[in-house]
Amino acid sequence: MVFLYVYIENRSITEIILRLFNTIYMKSLLLLLVTILLVAQPMAEARQVRVLSEKIEFNGKVNTSQRKSLILQNDSDEEKEYFFRYLRGNIGSSQSLKICLDRTCYDPKKDLSKIKIKLKPGEVYTDLYVEFDLGIIETRGTFDLHFFNTENPRETFVIEGVYTVVGEDDENYFSHKDIEIGGVYPNPATRVAQLDYKIKNPAVNARLVVNTFIGNPIYDFRLDPLHTILEFNVTDLNPGVYVYTIFIDDKNIVTKKLVVKR
């Protein structure tokens, strides 16, 4: 108690408060610096290779194959090397998928160690392709291709793929120079109906218009060229027969029937 009294006598109250404030301030500053370092570390380790076409889409008939190109860009000032890690998704037994680097193609299930991409600083890589044999069965599905950096396995990129396979004589499939559609399904519909489509020319104005059987308009949807699926609710519609029409730049391209049930 005597020591504390002498301590206070030799120093002003103001000085004690200032020292206490400085101590708290330094601790807060240290905590802030530690927080910044912890946040900055993952940001510094973030991937610096971008997939400029992250989703690839395959739409076609059975017994056909398609080839899609992909573009990668190394935004860093360092050379990067990526290996293919794994394929995830539902690829049918009659389907096959290959990853091609320039003119050489590999089976992702058998040739994992051979699929590697080396990117120079700032390079835009355009020699990556995916070949897909659509198989013999009408189906839809998705898959993902995962790549990782050899020096930093946490640095990865993923390529997403979707596919729709229709029959040789599928009456719902329709192809036009500006658009492909797979028809609205399920048909009959009870709650939600879906249209699969692919716009070949993004400059056009594509629309799906739903009318009653006698021509009264109900829905008018714009088809986004950046998407391939349109879903719409039919629970507000009375059971019956409706028609839907695809318009390209206000021109009727095709009209089909949609049945709503409860």
pLDDT digit string (tens) for 130-175? 999 998 888 888 999 999 998 888 899 999 998 988 776 566 778 8
17 within some domain: no
Pairing assessment for the beta strands 156-166 and 55-61 based on DSSP bridges: parallel
**Dist CA 126 CA 101 (whole Å):** 9
Total Cβ atoms within 10 A of residue 180: 19
What's the confidence (pLDDT) of residue 3?
43
238 within some domain: yes
Phi, psi of 224 (to 5 degrees): -70, 125
Is 100:128 a contact under the CB 8 Å cutoff?
Answer: yes
Give the chain's domain count. 2
What pTM, to 2 d.p., does this model score? 0.52
**Dist CA 199 CA 208 (whole Å):** 12
**Dist CA 68 CA 54 (whole Å):** 12
The token pair at 230 is 């349109």
188 and 146 both lie in a single domain: no
Range 12-31 average pLDDT: 59
Domain boundary among 147, 166, 185: 166
215 within some domain: yes
59 within some domain: yes
155 and 179 both lie in a single domain: no
The token pair at 65 is 């194959």
